[in-house]
Structure 1
């Protein structure tokens, strides 16, 4: 991940509804949720939810897949891990053992 991609991801998560969407999709796991259900659970209108989903998708934090007429979204944990890895790239002033527990936690495959 480069700086531009990291800024895009952080900007996407820096908005309340988008952060709520991302957290909801993380909770939903590998099955994800249909767009309409995301909107309903968060109490937002569908076109607003769609705009937020697009931003998160462009930032590499979520993925969409079509199932018939339904679009189902899932959290892109690889994209999220890449963001966290970028943020922690030079952590601990050259002593990576201090960061090892955090790095191991974010590289765990859900």
Structure 2
């Protein structure tokens, strides 16, 4: 057995040092909350939830750490775009015009 391949060889020891960057698989609560609220907005059409979702999306975009993220991760951009589209989708019915006549309620005849 050669000395180079022997893991017990004391001359191959190196001092332990911390890496320059740590890859964290941490939970980003604001990003997840923004995406959850965006989905909830699209389902319930509650336009008042769109503003906090947009704030969560902006916050997740600002707080992105590219050195701590996995390779190929989109960061906060996908969350911000989803929150922005939910805001637009919740407010667009207010600006659309409808030519359909409004239904009026007629009182029922009493007997």
Note whether the superposition's TM-score is higher than 0.5: no
More strand by share: 1
Choose between structure 1 and 2: higher helix proportion. 1
TM-score of the superposed pair, with normalisation by structure 2:
0.29
